[in-house]
Structure 1
Amino acid sequence: MDTQTLLPSLYISHGSPMTALDAGEAGTFWRRLGPAITATFGAPRAILAVSAHSLTREPVLLAAPRHEAIYDFSGFPDALYQLRYDAPGAPALAGRVAELLRAAGLPVHTEPAGGMDHGIWTPLRSMFPRADIPVLPLAWPPMWSPAQLFRLGQVLAPLAAEGVLVMGSGAITHNLRLFASGRGEVDAPEYPQSAAFRTWVEQQARSGGWPALLDYRATAPHAAYMHPTDEHWLPFYVAAGAAEANGAQARGVRLHSSVTYGHLGMDAYAFGATAPQLAAALEAEPAPA
């Protein structure tokens, strides 16, 4: 296998739904990310999306022939609810993924259900605005440990050679209780705890520090403060595991670093042998007008 043709896997911080209306730094990055992927590897054949907002007791593949945006939020401007992102589904891919999971002894269910939560459609609307790439949402159990979710990702690793982009969507830091602290401005100065956690993740991911990452609750600075519940962080492990092809150790390349409201991190990572290629392509990609 030519490892230069393998799609890297991604972990994206999707942030507030308002990013779909007011792009900010992360939205601008997403608009560059999609074209950089296509220019470097060709357009993905499909996208397997693992979002913090699609949670189940056991893995469930949403294998509808078509998906629409789900507005799984409230209290936002009316204009946000008018945005659409209708994408084809991937029923055939659902069969392939179910086969991989069952062969590994993992539970899996397939439902002919459709819909993409905002953790999926918000970034994809900027990355691939034509909505012409089939999407397969994979709902997952938030009670699984980082090691179990890393293993889930490892089972998905063959998809990289089949043109399937594995995308985890969550938030590098996610403590929504901090919105009550009075820092309501999107460009508020960053909390030191957020900066420390994001820096630690980058260092560990870059060096392949998986023992520490898998035990992040005990080893990362301010882990519980930045993630009182960790469903927005855990898709990181699925994305990282999906890059462990042919015994190669998954190392993460941070593609984007920013923070909103002082504490909601918007970092994005690529994993796998070709992650540095994607990072280089992004550096060369001109900013969108």
Structure 2
Amino acid sequence: MTTATAIAPLFLSHGSPMTALEPGAAGLFMQALGRQLVTSAEMRPRAILALSAHSLARRPTLLVAERQHAVHDFGGFDPALYQLQYDAPGAPALAAELQSALPDLLQTHAMAGLDHGIWTPLRYMVPQADIPVLPLCFSPQASPAELWALGQALAPWAQQGVLILASGSITHNLRRVFQGGAAVDAPEVAESRAFRHWWAEQAVASNWPALLDYRRQAPHAVDMHPTDEHLLPWFVAAGAGGPASPALRLHESVTYGCLGMDAYAFGPRASALAAALAQKGRAP
């Protein structure tokens, strides 16, 4: 395994596909986050291991193509969205390294494709597309505890310069969006606010048992996540960060009144990243 600086695993909420055209507060945060990671010799990743709510498989699967490209896995949106591209080098060597070390956990597939939950953040964070990307598909039937364990297995690579980038949504009830016809800047509904606040409190307190059992313990959990594939990536990044450090919320915002756009960092390097972003935010 290559010697490199540890990088904090991340969870980013990617929101609607329109985020790729209309960055809003979350997109502007992703740009600032990317500038911090890409321009810092201490934080720049050697590769990005990316998983998203939209790339799923029966068991954890690495997509090992030499080149990766944007997949337009949505319909009915602004035609300009389908013109956006994100072509990046793949990371087959990293895939071989991971699969060799974790043969009972990971399988590989010789295919390419970055779903919009991956390429939308990356086009803001790494617009030059010059960092290798390795997509990791996961099972939506896996429990939070199982995905935490997957993250723990991947933790050594976060300590060796690989950015583990998990993408989903901190709240995600599309029925509320479509039925309410809410504008993108609609005021946040009380249920979303209560859920996000509870989540951030438990995260900074390292209350992992409560978070792993969130569907019973969090307020409005089933309302905010009728199905939980958009929250499950959070547990992979959290597991990679480890239980010894709190999860830090780096950004919070909401679109359509109920789609939370919060971002989190995990592990021993999370506080340094949060401090660096705060310092950049205070700069004139």
Same fold, TM-score > 0.5, yes or no: yes
Q: For 2:185, what is the secondary structure of its paired residue?
A: coil
Q: For 2:102, what is the secondary structure of its paired residue?
A: helix
Q: For 2:117, what is the secondary structure of its paired residue?
A: helix
* Amino acid in the other structure paired with 1:66: R
Which residue number in structure 2 is paired with residue 70 of structure 1? Answer: 71
Give the structure-1-normalised TM-score.
Answer: 0.93
Which residue number in structure 2 is paired with residue 277 of structure 1? Answer: 272
Give the structure-2-normalised TM-score.
Answer: 0.95
Q: Partners in 1 of 2:142 and 2:80 — Cα distance?
A: 36
Provide runs of 4+ in structure 1 moved above 6 Å.
Answer: none
User: 2:250 is matched with which residue: 247, 255, 277?
Assistant: 255
| 1:219 matches 2:220 | no
Bigger shift: residues 29-38 or 175-184: 175-184
Q: CA deviation at 1:251?
A: 1.6
Deviations for 1:46-79, whole angstroms, at most 9, x for unmatched residues? 0000110000111110000001100000011111
| 1:33 matches 2:28 | no
1:1-289 alignment runs, 5 A limit: 5-38=5-38, 39=40, 41-102=42-103, 105-106=104-105, 108-244=106-242, 249-286=244-281
Q: Partners in 2 of 1:280 and 1:195 — Cα distance?
A: 25
Give the fraction of aligned pairs with identical amino acids, expressed as a percent.
58
Q: CA deviation at 1:17?
A: 0.9
Q: Is the CA contact 1:32–1:287 (under 8 Å) kept in the aligned structure 2?
A: no
Q: Partners in 1 of 2:50 and 2:12 — Cα distance?
A: 11
Q: CA deviation at 1:40?
A: 6.4
The answer for unaligned runs of 5 or more in structure 2 is none
* Amino acid in the other structure paired with 1:226: M
Q: Is the CA contact 1:191–1:262 (under 8 Å) kept in the aligned structure 2?
A: yes
Q: Is the CA contact 1:69–1:117 (under 8 Å) kept in the aligned structure 2?
A: yes
Q: CA deviation at 1:37?
A: 1.9
Q: CA deviation at 1:180?
A: 2.8
Deviations for 1:124-162, whole angstroms, at most 9, x for unmatched residues? 000000000000000011101100000000000000222
Q: Is the CA contact 2:26–2:251 (under 8 Å) kept in the aligned structure 1?
A: yes
Q: CA deviation at 1:285?
A: 1.9
Q: Is the CA contact 1:240–1:250 (under 8 Å) kept in the aligned structure 2?
A: no
Q: Is the CA contact 2:36–2:43 (under 8 Å) kept in the aligned structure 1?
A: no
Q: Is the CA contact 1:63–1:90 (under 8 Å) kept in the aligned structure 2?
A: yes
| Cα RMSD, aligned residues only | 1.7
The number of residues matched between the two structures is: 280
Deviations for 1:21-52, whole angstroms, at most 9, x for unmatched residues? 11100000000001112326232100000110
Deviations for 1:223-273, whole angstroms, at most 9, x for unmatched residues? 0000000000000000000112xxx52420000000000000000000011
